[in-house]
Amino acid sequence: GEDDKSSAPGSAATVKRTYQTALGYNVGNAPEMVAREAGFFSKLGLDVNVISSTGTPQALQGVLAKTTHYSRVQSISIVTAVANENAPYVAFGTPVQRSAFEMQSLADKPIKSVAELAGKNLGVISAGGTTDVLITLMARKEGIDPASIKRKVVGLGVAAAEFAKRGEIVAWVGSAAERKALEAAGTPVSSFAFDDVVAVPADTYFTTKEEFSANREVVVKVLAAFYAGLEFVLDTANDKKTIEYIRNYNREIKPEEAQRQLDLVRPLYTATGKDKLMTVDKARWAELQESLLAEGVIKQKANLDDVVIDSLVAEAKAVKP
Amino acid sequence: MKPPGRNWRRAIDRSLVWWSTPLVLVLLYLIWKAYIAITGVSPFVLPGPAAVFEALKEQVTDPYIWKVHVWATFTETLWGLGIAIVIGVTLGFLIGKSRVLARVLKPFIVATQVTPKVALAPLFVLWFGFGPGSKIALAAIVSFFPIMTNTAFGIQSLPRSLREMGTSVGARTWYRFGRIELPYTLAYILAGLEVAIVLATIGAIVGEYLGGDKGLGRYALNLQNNLQIDMLFGSIVLMAAYGLVLYGIVVALKYFLIPWHESVRVLREDQI
Amino acid sequence: MKPPGRNWRRAIDRSLVWWSTPLVLVLLYLIWKAYIAITGVSPFVLPGPAAVFEALKEQVTDPYIWKVHVWATFTETLWGLGIAIVIGVTLGFLIGKSRVLARVLKPFIVATQVTPKVALAPLFVLWFGFGPGSKIALAAIVSFFPIMTNTAFGIQSLPRSLREMGTSVGARTWYRFGRIELPYTLAYILAGLEVAIVLATIGAIVGEYLGGDKGLGRYALNLQNNLQIDMLFGSIVLMAAYGLVLYGIVVALKYFLIPWHESVRVLREDQI
Amino acid sequence: MTGIHVDSVTKRFDQDATKPPTLDEIGLSIADGEFVALLGPSGCGKTTLLRMIGGLEQPTSGSVLINGEQLSGASKTTRRKLLANVGFVFQEHNLLPWRNALANVAVPLEVRKVPKAERLRIAEEMLALVGLSEAAGKLPHELSGGMRQRVAIARALAYDPDILLMDEPFGAVDAQTRDSLNLELQRIWMQRRKTVVFVTHSVPEAVFLADRVVVMRAAPGQIVEDLRVTIPRPRSLDASLTQDFLATTARLRSHLGEGTSAQELAK
Amino acid sequence: MTGIHVDSVTKRFDQDATKPPTLDEIGLSIADGEFVALLGPSGCGKTTLLRMIGGLEQPTSGSVLINGEQLSGASKTTRRKLLANVGFVFQEHNLLPWRNALANVAVPLEVRKVPKAERLRIAEEMLALVGLSEAAGKLPHELSGGMRQRVAIARALAYDPDILLMDEPFGAVDAQTRDSLNLELQRIWMQRRKTVVFVTHSVPEAVFLADRVVVMRAAPGQIVEDLRVTIPRPRSLDASLTQDFLATTARLRSHLGEGTSAQELAK
Ligand SMILES: Nc1ncnc2c1ncn2[C@@H]1O[C@H](COP(=O)(O)OP(=O)(O)OP(=O)(O)O)[C@@H](O)[C@H]1O
Ligand SMILES: Nc1ncnc2c1ncn2[C@@H]1O[C@H](COP(=O)(O)OP(=O)(O)OP(=O)(O)O)[C@@H](O)[C@H]1O
Ligand SMILES: [Mg+2]
Ligand SMILES: [Mg+2]
């Protein structure tokens, strides 16, 4: 109720919003944390609170509950939710152009392709959810039955290596940061990126249809601040500041570690080129939807025109805090 | 002989068993509906009762859910509870009888309880495997504590007169345990069991949440991931009903095991 | 008068308070070390005791952790427990006194217990916000149940002789409650409280896991996400110690509140 | 219609109709201010009858009236109103274990909202009456069996009820204390004209105290004798030497099937 | 050295040294096979003394020896060995509430691993002895006060201990039952020559049963009289009519400070 009043067009008061991160206060959420800490939101007359989440379901439901206004999740989740459940989402920016997920295995028993996983145990972070779907898509692409890959929940990717050593799994899903951590601890890891098998649009910002249609200019400003945050993060000259901002949320992370992880995530932001920062690639969304339909993950197709807004990035770039 | 007013009230009380739950369900239904109508809360957060009812109907009539998910959770819960009873009664007895053991063991037992199991999930899997083992372990760990606490409390509450009777007839430890302490403590254990069955269920379900391929927790997590919130709420109702049945069984046990106990006698009599 | 053997043993028993926990800690340390040495388990699953000890040292000496995280969890836990006591004792009393209310309320109360709170997290946040409210609510919801169960059990166990004494002196409901039932039930409530304090702590910590910006749960989650596993285990030790202190306080309450109760008397005497 | 009326009360604890009922169509009217002693072998139903009058047990059939009002089957409020003036000394003491002797005696006074100072005064006085001033601060588990019983008597006397139901109140106290308590009880009764129903196993005690002695038999529980004691009041302990007294005890004994206990005769 | 030796036993329940101790340097030797009755006002320490002999309470100072062996402060095993032949009838019955009368009587037999059939036979016999054959299947809460007390007596007799400690065992039973139980107890004692310590408030009962009557006083708890009863055995109930009997009771009464209870005299 309150929010609606303060966000009414023409209101001079600061507009209050909440952004919920994809997962915790990880370095991967740097653009949003920076957007707040560097004052990009406030410069645009916004007061956006950045709060953490435990993962995709919480992020998705928070926005629908209106306890939060914006968040970001894997595009797969948005497509599935919209197509299957008719969820009123609008996706409007893609900070991460390339999925952070990697298929990892022990270097001495490397798994080089998804096809090798047929009939084997694969360690996953959590069951269901986007990685599960991605594995299915990859299996299909490589021509094996997705169900033949037995998925075992092992928690963190770093813990998964332990199970691989015991031969209980042959590979696991992890991030680059986890790979580095394992290698630093003396466990060489072989890996390939999910994106090299099936390229899908990765993390996407989203909000509700209602917010988008009623407060389009707010959404644009929010995206503008995110964009500024992203640019800030990409500039290595700002690293000291960036890390300081991150540590305002995640006091526990050591600066060196933050630096390491920052260096690992930056390429994901710029994967499609520095000029295409944040760009929404509708074609890839459509492609994704096709394969999801083919796989039976979704029962019918959604009209992506209403869901995926690729024009906002340009507008946001123009705003510049 | 009794004035009619009382008979009436008693008849109502008796029939209550049949209509109270449906009545409250109807009431809840109305409140739920009204809440949604008034607040306009998104169905993705709190679906309407009709939708949940539809989902539930679908779930209840799906044999797969019974044979795979409910059955998995059921076996995990019972195994977990069984282990919890053995551990809980044993530890409760040791701790209740010996201040020394209480001093030595309690800090570590309490420590196992206050640590969030989520953080330890990999260890659980490492030690108990991907299968039902880790869920059973979780169910057992979270549910033995109330059994232990109540067992210790019961054994320490053993009336002095009965304890001394044991001494005076020259009963040895085992006789005391089996014929005096345990029967006396049974009422306390059963009260602990009421809490434990609920915790064991939660433990098994959370274990499935953290990993696994079947069980009600796994099923609910899937639904949550898929944003099938009406089905999710259906599954929550299912879990509630499931837990309720187990709980009911535990409560009913009282009537068979401790008919002599005051807490059962008051329930069987018309209270004056 | 007493043979020396007994005195010796007693002296050992007395001093036990001081050395048992450190001794077991040292034992655990060695087992832990040995386990890692033998199995070579990855430090990402189970870090070595030395690393955890280092981490813990750092954490314990960091005033921020005390002032922000421990304090947040502490206040949430206590608020949650306070609410749980009020709700638990009230419901326990109603349910224990009235079969009718028990029939009507219990199914719904048990249902709130067996549903996994994770699935309902969005509702919690919706109703109680991202702040301490939702953690307090979670702590209260998970911890009132053992209090309620034990309160009801205690009230139903009230010896007939005391109940009838109340009737015969013409005591009204409130007098009965305040001067007969509640004092008698206090021992049971306190046993329930032992379980409840542990659950309230877990509830608050899990609530912080689900969202929020401070508290030990939040802190642990950050560490987990940062892959700082040694620090994570340090924080688990911290949580265990924290829970232990709260638990100790609850247990100590017994000595002040129910010194007359058999379960306290046996603890204070040398058992024969 | 005042006093206590037990109207063809039957009580069965188990539903097996072939067994004799615990109480079989008991009829008993006790006038206002009357002192009735109840005698009978162990297990004949004395306690059950007393509990029925005290509203603690429901008759299977028949009814109990107090001051003309139905007690059995009455609503909670009526029952409380009727029982407000009934004091009960139970066969097995039931002191609150967390209260010391003094505070236990004060319970009925608290219920009646007697002001604190007054309460204390009365409770102390009552404890003195039963010879326990010294033990005022002790918890029940620190008292001897006889002391506990006396605290319970003090409690019942403390609030000065019109009707006093006493179930073997002096069973665990020594002869000397018992004599003095008997005298006290008589004094209080004469002063306040309470209605007293007094269960005892001692025939002389019954005769010494009562206006009427009712003798019961067991299985089925029935009244076999209802004897008026005509010895004038106040009775001193010497009254028990009179011919009247001896004749009455002998008659009661014959009904108790005791013959005359030779041992008792010797005393 | 056989029998029971209480050697200058002092018991203080509170540590306040200005108050008189509950038991003050009590010395008492009871020979094997002797029947000793313990008399004394309520609260004088009879139960405490009995509990000390039964190993349920530790003396503050002094010691209790059974058959020449230290009981107080002994190890658990020694204590159990010494107490294996000691039967205890408590002042307040302590039946297991979940067992019926018969099964309660069988408890000490179970402890001694008596075979089941034998157990049942003895338990039934004992119940018959106390007149409760009918009530064998009843749970304690279904028994009357006197019936519970009798079950506890049956239990103590069931396993035929050498030493029997009885704390006001017949306090809640009627005179007739009491007489018959007194006779039974004498018969059993004469047959088996048990050592019995018997607390009672009834002087005639003490004189009828005992070889020796010990009288205690209170605050501090001390022995004020230790009287040998010379009336020949077996004593019939008529024995109480003899001059000897009357003289003994009179002497004991004077020590109890009772003078002669006029009421009792009359009986
Ligand atoms: N709650 C009960 N359930 C079943 N039977 C009972 C119950 N209460 C009493 N009885 C039975 O009723 C009978 C009478 O018991 P009651 O207590 O009235 O006897 P009493 O005359 O007071 O005996 P005593 O002198 O031993 O106290 C006994 O046979 C007893 O077994
Ligand atoms: N556990 C205890 N704590 C404190 N005081 C106690 C305890 N047990 C007994 N006493 C006190 O010791 C004294 C003697 O008690 P005891 O029970 O031995 O008396 P008794 O001679 O058996 O009396 P009665 O004839 O009334 O049973 C009493 O004054 C009692 O208050
Ligand atoms: Mg009785
Ligand atoms: Mg005594």
Cα separation values, C183 from D96, D155, E55, Å: 9, 19, 32
- Can you list the alpha helix ranges (DSSP code H) found in chain C? 4-39, 49-60, 63-64, 71-97, 99-114, 117-128, 132-157, 160-168, 173-175, 182-210, 216-225, 229-257, 262-268
The angle at the Cα of C262, spanning C256 to C265, to the nearest 5 degrees, equals 60
Q: Which of D186, D249, D263 to mutate to test the interface with E (most CBs of E within 10 A)?
A: D263
pLDDT at A227: 93
**Picking from B19-23, C76-80, D66-70, E155-159, which range would have the lowest pLDDT averaged per residue?**
B19-23
Whole-number pLDDT of residue E267: 42
Stated pTM of the model: 0.91
Which residues in chain E have Cβ-Cβ distances shorter than 8 Å to D182? Answer: 263
Torsion angle of alpha carbons C70, C76, C82, C85, nearest 10°? Answer: -100
- Flag whether pLDDT at E19 surpasses 90: no
Q: Which chain B residue has the Cα nearest residue C10?
A: B100
Residues in chain D: 267
The per-residue pLDDT for range D122-159, each reduced to its tens digit, is 999 999 988 899 889 999 999 988 899 899 989 988 88
Q: Do D51 and D138 fall within a single domain?
A: no
Q: How confident is the model over D11-58, as pLDDT tens digits? A: 888 877 788 888 888 888 898 889 999 988 888 889 999 999 988 888
Contact (CB<8Å) A65/B45? yes
pLDDT digits (tens, 9 = 90+) for E106-138: 999 999 899 999 999 999 999 998 888 988 999
Provide the residue range defining the domain that includes B16.
1-41
Q: What are the tokens at D158?
A: 């403390």
Average pLDDT across chain A, whole number: 87
3-state secondary structure of D60: coil
In this predicted model, which residue has the larger pLDDT, B212 or C219?
Answer: C219
D234 lines ligand 1 (CB under 6 A): no
Q: Please judge whether A177 and C223 are an interchain contact, meaning their C-beta atoms are less than 8 angstroms apart.
A: no
Residues 171-200 on E with a CB inside 8 Å of B are none
CATH code assigned at C245: 1.10.3720.10
- pLDDT at residue A132 above 50? yes
Mark whether B223 and B142 lie in a shared domain. Answer: yes
Residues E152 and E253 in one domain: no
For residue A11, the model assigns a pLDDT of 46
pLDDT at position B19: 76
Task: Express each pLDDT in C183-192 by its tens digit.
Answer: 999 999 999 9
* Structural domain includes residue C268: no
pLDDT block averages, 10 residues each, chain B of length 272: 54 69 84 89 86 91 91 93 96 90 86 83 82 92 94 92 88 90 94 94 88 84 85 89 88 88 79 42
Residues 6+ apart with CB under 8 A from E65: E1, E4, E5, E7, E71
CB contact at 8 A, E82 and E45: no
Rounded to whole angstroms, the Cα distance separating A242 from A245 reads 5
**Total tally of structural domains belonging to chain C:** 2
Q: Rounded distance, CA B181 to CA B166, Å?
A: 10
> CB–CB of A52 and C122 under 8 A?
no
Using CA atoms, how far apart are residues A192 and A179, in angstroms rounded to an integer?
A: 11
- Which pLDDT score, from 0 to 100, does residue E119 have? 93
Are C178 and C118 found together in one domain? yes
Q: In this predicted complex, what is the ipTM?
A: 0.90
**Residue A321 confidence (pLDDT) above 80:** no
* Contacts of range B12-21, beta carbons closer than 8 Å, 24 or more positions apart: B13/C99, B13/C100, B16/C100, B16/C103, B16/C104, B17/C103, B20/C100, B20/C103, B20/C104, B21/C103, B21/C104, B21/C107
Residue E113 lies in a domain: yes
In a domain, C125, yes or no: yes
Q: Which chains touch B (3 or more CB pairs under 8 A)?
A: A, C, D, E
What is the band of D263 on the pLDDT scale with cuts at 50, 70, 90? very low
Q: Which two tokens stand for residue B38?
A: 């008034």
Q: What percent of chain C has pLDDT over 70?
A: 93
C149 and C25: one domain?
Answer: no
**How many residues does this entry show for chain B?**
272
Are D35 and D54 within one domain?
A: yes
Given this model, what pLDDT does residue D115 score?
93
For residues A252-267, give the mean pLDDT.
90
Same domain, C145 and C161: yes
Residue D21 CB less than 6 A away from ligand 1? no
CB contact at 8 A, B32 and B45: no
Q: Which of A141-145, A223-227, E257-261 has the lowest mean pLDDT?
A: E257-261
Average pLDDT over residues A209-225: 92
pLDDT of the residue at D260: 44
SS3 content of chain E, % helix, strand, coil (to 5): 40, 20, 40
Same domain, E144 and E176: no
Task: Beginning with the edge strand found earlier in the chain, give each strand of the sheet holding D212-217 in spatial order.
Answer: D86-89, D163-167, D195-199, D35-39, D212-217, D222-228
Containing structural domain, residue E237: 28-58+74-85+161-266
Q: Let me know whether C246 and C203 are in one domain.
A: yes
Please check whether residues E178 and E113 belong to one and the same domain. Answer: no
- The answer on E216 and E200 residing in a single domain is yes
Residue with more model confidence, D172 or B78? B78
Residues B35 and B70 in one domain: no
D150 and D183, same domain (yes or no): no
Beta-strand relationship, E35-39 and E212-217: parallel
Max CA separation in chain E (angstroms)? 57
Ligand 2 pocket mutation pick from D100, D139, D142, D153 by most atoms within 8 angstroms of CB: D142
Q: Are strands D61-66 and D69-70 parallel, antiparallel or unpaired?
A: antiparallel
Instruction: For residues E207-235, give the mean pLDDT.
Output: 84
Residue C50 inside a domain? The answer is yes
On whether residue E250 sits in a domain, the answer given is yes
Tell me the β-bridge partners of D29: D5
Q: Tell me: the pLDDT tens digits for D201-220?
A: 888 888 888 889 898 888 78
Q: Do both D203 and D114 map to the same domain?
A: no
Whether residue C98 is contained in a domain is answered as yes
Of D160, D194, D216, the domain-final residue = D160
Distance CA A257, CA A263 (A): 10
> Who among C161, C170, C265 is closest to D90 (CB)?
C161
Closest by Cβ to B3, choosing from D61, D62, D73: D73
Nearest-angstrom CA–CA distance, A178 and C228: 11
Q: Are strands D212-217 and D35-39 parallel, antiparallel or unpaired?
A: parallel
- Do D129 and D208 lie in one domain? The reply is no
Q: Tell me what pLDDT residue E259 has.
A: 45
pLDDT at C76 over 60: yes
Quick one: what percent of chain C has pLDDT higher than 90? 34
Task: Give the pLDDT confidence score for residue B122 in this predicted structure.
Answer: 79
Residue D222 pairs with which residues in a beta bridge? Answer: D217
The dihedral through the CA atoms of C148, C150, C151, C156 has a sign that is positive
Residues C46-63, mean pLDDT to the nearest whole number: 90
Residue C13 pLDDT: 65
- DSSP class of A308: B
Taking residues E1-15, report their average pLDDT: 83
> Is residue B268, in this structure, part of any structural domain at all?
no
The pLDDT-based confidence of D1 (bands split at 50, 70, 90) is low
Q: Are B114 and C194 contacting, i.e. CB atoms less than 8 angstroms apart?
A: no
D203 and D130 inside one domain: no
Cα–Cα distance for residue pair C173/C167, rounded to 1 Å: 10
Which residues have CB under 8 Å from D145's CB, separation 6+? D172, E42, E47, E91, E92, E167, E168
Distance CA C73, CA E109 (A): 57
Q: Are residues C30 and C99 in the same domain?
A: no
Query: pLDDT value at position C210?
Result: 78
Residue at C143 is within a domain: yes
Phi then psi dihedrals of residue E143, to 5 deg:
-100, 155
Residues D165 and D254 in one domain: yes
- Given a cut of 90, whether residue D92 has pLDDT beyond it is no
Q: Enter the tokens of residue D205.
A: 């005690």
Neighbouring C-beta atoms of residue D169, cutoff 10 Å = 24
Domain assignment present for D63: no
pLDDT at position C6 is 55
Distance CA C86, CA E265 (A): 62
Cα–Cα distance measured from residue C229 to residue A158, given in angstroms and rounded to the nearest whole number: 10
